[in-house]
Structures are given as structure tokens and as C-alpha cells.
């Protein structure tokens, strides 16, 4: 069956979706987006993703003109229309289509709204936790990483580098040797029984799954400290793991070919993953 997508109020076959070349999302990455998980045919962490989307749009002065329940119905129509039980849901909002290519936009543009869903092609959530190998890469991204925009060239280059090194994902590192996050995941270490992750700021994206994992750790009485971690500290950690919307919690077993801890999935990471998935299934959003 041809995948269905949402484009500006209509659900159409993906092959029939068309966006004008003067759309500012295409020309300038003048847009915001969210990537959400789909589990058991439901949207994961819907409210927190919408809160982050609203913040990103506010920072860019883009008004999408929809309430949260409207977004839920729009997105769920794609999930059910494409018969997706477990996968990835993408929502992309641009400032709109200008009459010319101009850095300063017109004031009266109508935002472009595009969304699609796809089945997850990796291990299923109830399978044994898939592990990650990381390769370090210089963090070349723009300075406002807290805004979730499709300005992702830095991540593309980092992830290509990781792939060339035979690794699953990139670990982004500043010139001073400090870890920021992964190419498309938040990063945690476990050291001396304490979970450590970088504090939120303009330097990283405030990950929705990151937030949920910190809450899960508190429920499990596991200590969490938010502070900047050096690459040396990450390499010396007892465990490491990474989090993302559609892959949840994944243990990290190596960085640049060096094992993290004993080179196997860590006990804390597996405990966090199991409890997080349980919590997700207990809290699917239902519109009012």
C-alpha cells in the first residue's frame, strides 16, 4: 500500500505530496519539527513533544494555529491510516512559501504542515535491548541546538563519520573535549552508581525521552546529576546509554572502539529501559 502523508490539511499518497520550491523550510531550514515514537498503535509522550514543538515555534515566531487535540487527531489519522503499530512519526512545520528567496520573510506567510509515519525497521521494543557503538565527532552544529529545526547538516556529517568508522552513532564532542550529546540521541553515563547527563541549555536539545528517563530514575531511587562530562570521563564510565523518541533507551558498549565498562549492556541501562517502556505504555495520551 502506498504510504499516506499529511500535507496542509489533506491526507494524500506520499508520491502525490508536493511542496513548492520557494518554501522557506527548503531554502533556509526556516522550520521546526518533532519526531515521536509510535508504540502499540499509540503516540509516545505526545504532550511533552507538543510542548517542545510549541517552544521551538515560539522561538522562531511561527504560528501553526492548532490546539494540541487537533494535532493528536491529525497524527493519529496517519498512524491508523498506515496501520503502524510500532514506528516513527514525523511532524514538520515551516514558515511557509515566499514569493522570492529573501532572508527576511514576509509577515503574512501561511505555514506549511507536513507529517508522515513509518514502521520501525529495527528490533521491536520487547526484543532484547539493541546496543550502540559510538564514534566521536566534532560538534559542528549551530549555536541554538535547543530549538528543534531541520538544520541538521552537522548531525548528517557526524553520523556519516560514525558509519565510516563502522559504528552505529556519533558522540558529539566540543573542541575542549566535552561531550554534548549523540547525533540524534541524548547521552548518559553511569559512574559510581550515579547517572550523569549534560544539563539542558542552548548546547543540547532538551530530549523528551531524556526527561522521561530522569523521572524514571527518580522513581527507582537512582541518583542523577546534570553536569558536563568530558570524553575521558565517558570512556572511564561503568556504563553509558543513549535515549531517543522511537528507540527509547539503548546501552552504549563502546566509544571509538574502546569498551565502556565491560563492553556489554549495563545493568542500570537495562533497568531504566524496562521501566521506561512500562511507564510509556501506562501513559498514552487521550484527548479531552
Catalytic residue among 148, 185, 198, 210: 148
The answer on 146 and 94 residing in a single domain is no
Q: What is the pLDDT of residues 200-215, one digit of tens each?
A: 999 999 999 999 999 9
Domain count of the fold of the chain? 2
The answer on 243 and 265 residing in a single domain is yes
The answer on 137 and 114 residing in a single domain is no
1 pLDDT more than 80? no
Please calculate the CA angle 71-48-32 and round it to the nearest 5 degrees: 65
Residue 263 gets the label, from left (phi > 0), alpha (psi -120 to 50) or beta, of left
The pTM of this model reads 0.96
Q: What is the pLDDT of residues 31-71, one digit of tens each?
A: 999 999 999 999 999 999 999 999 999 999 999 989 999 99
The answer on 113 and 164 residing in a single domain is no
Residue 127 inside a domain? The answer is no
Establish whether 148 is a catalytic residue: yes
Whole-number pLDDT of residue 179: 98
CA distances from 267 to 110, 135, 163, 274 (A): 49, 22, 27, 11
Q: Is 258 helix (H, G, I), strand (E, B) or coil?
A: strand
Residue 252 inside a domain? The answer is yes
Domain end marker among 86, 119, 152: 119
Contact assessment for residue 35 and residue 88, using Cβ atoms and an 8 Å cutoff: yes
Amino acid at each position: 500500500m502506498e504510504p499516506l502523508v499529511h500535507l496542509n490539511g489533506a491526507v494524500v499518497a506520499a508520491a502525490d505530496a508536493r511542496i513548492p520550491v520557494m518554501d522557506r523550510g527548503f531554502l533556509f531550514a526556516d522550520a521546526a519539527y518533532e519526531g515521536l515514537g509510535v508504540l502499540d498503535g499509540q503516540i509516545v509522550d505526545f504532550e511533552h513533544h507538543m510542548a517542545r514543538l510549541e517552544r521551538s515555534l515560539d522561538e522562531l515566531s511561527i504560528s501553526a494555529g492548532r490546539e494540541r487535540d487537533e494535532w493528536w487527531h491529525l497524527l493519529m489519522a496517519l498512524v491508523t491510516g498506515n496501520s503502524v503499530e510500532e514506528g516513527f512519526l514525523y511532524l514538520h512545520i515551516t514558515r511557509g512559501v515566499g514569493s522570492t528567496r529573501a532572508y527576511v520573510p514576509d509577515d503574512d506567510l501561511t505555514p506549511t504542515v507536513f507529517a508522515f509515519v513509518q514502521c520501525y525497521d529495527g528490533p521491536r521494543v520487547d526484543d532484547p535491548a539493541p546496543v550502540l557503538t559510538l564514534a566521536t565527532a566534532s560538534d559542528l552544529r549551530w549555536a541554538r541546538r535547543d530549538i528543534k529545526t531541520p538544520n541538521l547538516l552537522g548531525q548528517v556529517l557526524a553520523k556519516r563519520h560514525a558509519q565510516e568508522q563502522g559504528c552505529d552513532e556519533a558522540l558529539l564532542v566540543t573542541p575542549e573535549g566535552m561531550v554534548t550529546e549523540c547525533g540524534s540521541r541524548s547521552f548518559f553515563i553511569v559512574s559510581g552508581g550515579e547517572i550523569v547527563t549534560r544539563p539542558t541549555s542552548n548546547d543540547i536539545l532538551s530530549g523528551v525521552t531524556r526527561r522521561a528517563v530522569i523521572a524514571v530514575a527518580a522513581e527507582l531511587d537512582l541518583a542523577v546529576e546534570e553536569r558536563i562530562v568530558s570524553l575521558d570521563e565517558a570512556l572511564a564510565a561503568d556504563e553509558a546509554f543513549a535515549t531517543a523518541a522511537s528507540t527509547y533507551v539503548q546501552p552504549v558498549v563502546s566509544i571509538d572502539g574502546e569498551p565502556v565498562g565491560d563492553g556489554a549492556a549495563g545493568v542500570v541501562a537495562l533497568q531504566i529501559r524496562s521501566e521506561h517502556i512500562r511507564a510509556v505504555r501506562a501513559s498514552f495520551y487521550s484527548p479531552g
